[in-house]
């Protein structure tokens, strides 16, 4: 049974508390265990590179640990960590090295898609479908891509997505509808 992690009390007369004073390392370890895989998959889908996604996951939890004293309890742990992850992924995508270094990571993402019993033709079909989906996502705006990833991969509610993106649930619902239409249009065009 994992330890119950409650929201820490960060109020202190002399300013923000140090991370260890807010939440012990064992309790923060429980937060890491509970959320690290979801953060990794979000980063993987956002970046398309397993190594960069692993680095981002570690960076997200380092940032969370360092800023634990400023955690305001306005959102759940999951929402707070996702917000850090989304911002960090945007920074990674916008960095000079992300735009100017060549990577063969796309192939590594799809290599794991095959099952040991799949025929070579089925493996090729799965790989081509994955590449087509990735290419279609790349044609969408960053906002649409993020909304589709959050609702499809992370299975977040409209309210949770709205909290992460700073929009109302109704705005998320409308934009998600347009994002799905744009995805369908680009996907059909790539056939």
**Which residues belong to CATH 1.10.10.10 in the chain?**
113-191
Q: Does domain 23-102 have CATH number 1.10.1740.10?
A: yes
**Which residues belong to CATH 1.10.1740.10 in the chain?**
23-102
Q: What is the mean predicted confidence (pLDDT) over 150-176? A: 86
Q: State residue 94 phi and psi, 5-degree precision.
A: -85, -5
Residue 183 to residue 179: CA distance in whole angstroms: 6
Q: What is the mean pLDDT of the chain?
A: 76
> 33 Cβ partners below 8 Å, 6+ apart?
2
Instruction: Give residue-wise pLDDT tens across range 135-151.
Output: 888 888 989 988 888 88
For domain 113-191, give the fold.
Arc Repressor Mutant, subunit A (1.10.10)
At 100 the pLDDT is 59
Instruction: Give residue-wise pLDDT tens across range 49-78.
Output: 889 999 999 999 888 888 777 776 676 778
Confidence of residue 22 (pLDDT cuts 50, 70, 90): very low
């Amino acid at each position: 049974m994992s330890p119950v992690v409650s929201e820490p009390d960060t109020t202190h007369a002399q300013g923000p508390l140090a991370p260890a004073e807010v939440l012990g390392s064992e309790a923060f370890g429980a937060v890491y265990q509970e959320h690290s895989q979801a953060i990794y998959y979000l980063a993987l889908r956002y970046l398309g590179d397993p190594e960069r996604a692993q680095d981002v996951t570690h960076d997200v939890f380092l940032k969370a640990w360092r800023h634990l004293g400023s955690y305001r309890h306005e959102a759940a742990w999951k929402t707070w960590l996702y917000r850090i992850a989304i911002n960090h992924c945007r920074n990674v995508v916008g960095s000079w090295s992300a735009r100017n270094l060549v990577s063969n990571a796309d192939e590594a993402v799809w290599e794991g898609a095959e099952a040991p019993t799949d025929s070579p033709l089925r493996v090729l079909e799965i790989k081509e479908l994955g590449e087509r989906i990735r290419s279609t996502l790349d044609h969408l705006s960053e906002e649409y891509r993020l909304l589709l990833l959050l609702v499809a991969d992370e299975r977040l509610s409209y309210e949770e997505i709205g909290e992460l993106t700073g929009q109302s649930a109704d705005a998320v619902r409308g934009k998600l509808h347009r994002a799905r239409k744009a995805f369908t249009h680009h996907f059909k065009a790539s056939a």
